[in-house]
Every structure is written in C-alpha cells, then in structure tokens.
Amino acid sequence: MKIPTLKKSDVKKLFPRRQKNSHKGMNGKIMIVGGSIDYYGAPLLATLGAYKTGVDLVYTFVPDCNFDVSRSYYPDFIVRKFHGNYLAEDAVTDIVEFSKKCDVLLIGPGIGERAGTLRAIQMILERVNIPTILDSSAIHVLTKITRVPLPQPVIITPHANEFEMLTGKDLQNEDPIKKNQILHTVAKDLHINIVLKGEHDFITSDDGETVVNATGNAGMTVGGTGDVLAGMIASFIAQGARPFDACKMACFFCGAAADTLSKEKGYNYLASEVALNLPDTIANA
C-alpha cells in the first residue's frame, strides 16, 4: 500500500484560525523545559520556532547556568529557571505545578542524558496532564514507563538513531513499507505520535496512520532544526490542532522554510534562519 505524501493543500486546511476578538493567551500557552551546561541554545530555538508559528505565550524553563543568556536572547521570551546546571528531581514539583497553567509541554531540547535528568523527566511525564512532546534524549524515558498508554497525548520526534535506541529497530536501510509497518506497531503499542525525522519525514499517529513529508533538504542537518520543529509542533497543538495534524503542519512548513533558504544560500544556513523564515513561508503557502 502506497504511503500518502503531504501536499500544500493538505496542510493549508489544517492551519489554526484565530478569532478576531481573541486576547493574549487564547491562542495557546506552551511550557518548554530544556537546556543544560552543555547546550543553552536548543530551548531558545524551540521557543523561536513556537513563536514564529503563531502561539501567544511560551514559558521557557532552563537551568541556572543558562538563565542570563536565555533571557537576553529576545525581549519577547519569558524565561524561568530551575536550580543547577542540569534538570534534576528537585525541580519536578515546580515544573508539574506550572504545567497546569499551560496547554502543551515540550521537554528535551538540550537537556542532556544524565541519569538524574532522565529520572526527573520520567517523574514529570508521569504527573502532567497536558499533551507532551518528548524531544532529543527525553525520548529515552519511554523505555522506563510501565503505565502505557499515558493519559495525555504524547509525541516523540526521533531521528533514526534515537528511534533505534528506543525500540531496537534500525530503520536506516528499511524500505518505506517496512518502515511504515514498524512505526505503525510502535505507535499503536505505546499509543504515541511519532515524527521520524530524515530525508523524508515519516509521521505516524497514535492509531497507526502514516504520512510522509517530502519538504526539506540536506542543509537541515545543521544543529538546531529539530529543536525548531519541536517548538512548531507544540505551537500548533497549543493553538488547537490535533497532535497528528500539528506534526504534519510542522514538518511541512519547517522543510518548506528550509527549501526557500537553500535556493538563496545553498546549504549554508542556520536553524535560527529556518525559524525566522517561517512566517513568510506560512503566509505564502
């Protein structure tokens, strides 16, 4: 069976429509938890991707060591901090409590792989009640979860290596049909939405439906584009899109923004430039 490929007409009809009389907060509130002594830029790129796709408010939680540089990046950013150089268990209660004010949680950009950090992510994942996107090393926490399905919608955004670490399945050289079968099984068993990033993105819903996104180019291997994508997914969900639809829109428009840049700059562009190009890409779709 042929797997459908996303078209511009598919995603345009999914795009959130806001009320003309809406006020601040009505068009989504996101909580992003990320960063570490090793990576301060990832949660900022996710925040930028979220804002540039139309969400109203993003609360970005980073460790002490990232706080000053993060809050100086853009005056638009609302940055809060937790103690230390990495996420740890002592931050869990405050994060879970604050999540009650938000529509979506994105956790993982730049957060690192320390055992204490992964324990904290697991604790958060098991306690929050809003749609949750797991990015980067946060994806590994699913191997520790015994209560499946989780009560909230869950989205993961792995590349092939991260998917193999989670499932033991190497999809790098599999044909599309076999890849689809494996994604279908994993998504249904864990009741999660999966965005498998690659030359072509495979997007699978929690009930096993898969579409392929063909926008994008090899310049997107630059560090940070996955963070932008994760922020976009959070943004679209916060604005009212179903998780599967949010993943489709984010993949399509992120790749389309990168395609525009590649026509101007070849492969010589940054993830932040992809994010900054999103408004024009979406407006001209």
Lowest mean per-residue pLDDT among 61-65, 115-119, 130-134, 174-178: 174-178
CB-based contact 104:238 (threshold 8 Å)? yes
User: Average pLDDT in the 240-260 region?
Assistant: 98
Confidence of residue 35 (pLDDT cuts 50, 70, 90): very high
Is the per-residue pLDDT at 173 higher than 90? no
Confidence of residue 281 (pLDDT cuts 50, 70, 90): very high
Tens of pLDDT, residues 4-19:
999 999 999 998 888 8
Backbone torsion region of residue 73, taken as left when φ is above 0, otherwise alpha when ψ lies between -120 and 50, otherwise beta: alpha
168 DSSP assignment: S
Tens of pLDDT, residues 226-240:
999 999 999 999 999
- Provide the mean pLDDT of the chain: 96
| Domains by residue range for the chain, with CATH | 28-160+218-283 (3.40.1190.20)
Instruction: Determine if the peptide bond prior to 153 is cis (ω within 30°).
Output: no
Tens of pLDDT, residues 126-158:
999 999 999 999 999 999 998 889 999 999 999
Cα separation, 95 vs 90, whole angstroms: 10
CB-based contact 30:103 (threshold 8 Å)? yes
Kindly give, in sequence order, each residue whose CB lies less than 8 Å from that of residue 217, ignoring residues fewer than 6 positions away.
255, 258, 259, 262, 267
Cα separation, 100 vs 98, whole angstroms: 5
- pTM of the model as a whole: 0.97
Give the per-residue pLDDT at 5. Answer: 97
Confidence of residue 271 (pLDDT cuts 50, 70, 90): very high
To the nearest 10 degrees (0 to 180), the angle between helices 271-283 and 225-238 is 40
CB-based contact 197:229 (threshold 8 Å)? yes
Tens of pLDDT, residues 71-95:
999 999 999 999 999 999 999 999 9
What count of residues does the chain have? 285
Query: CA distances (Å), 3 to each of 16, 183, 198, 217, 234, in order?
Result: 25, 12, 16, 20, 25
Strands 104-107 and 210-213: unpaired
Give the per-residue pLDDT at 95. Answer: 98
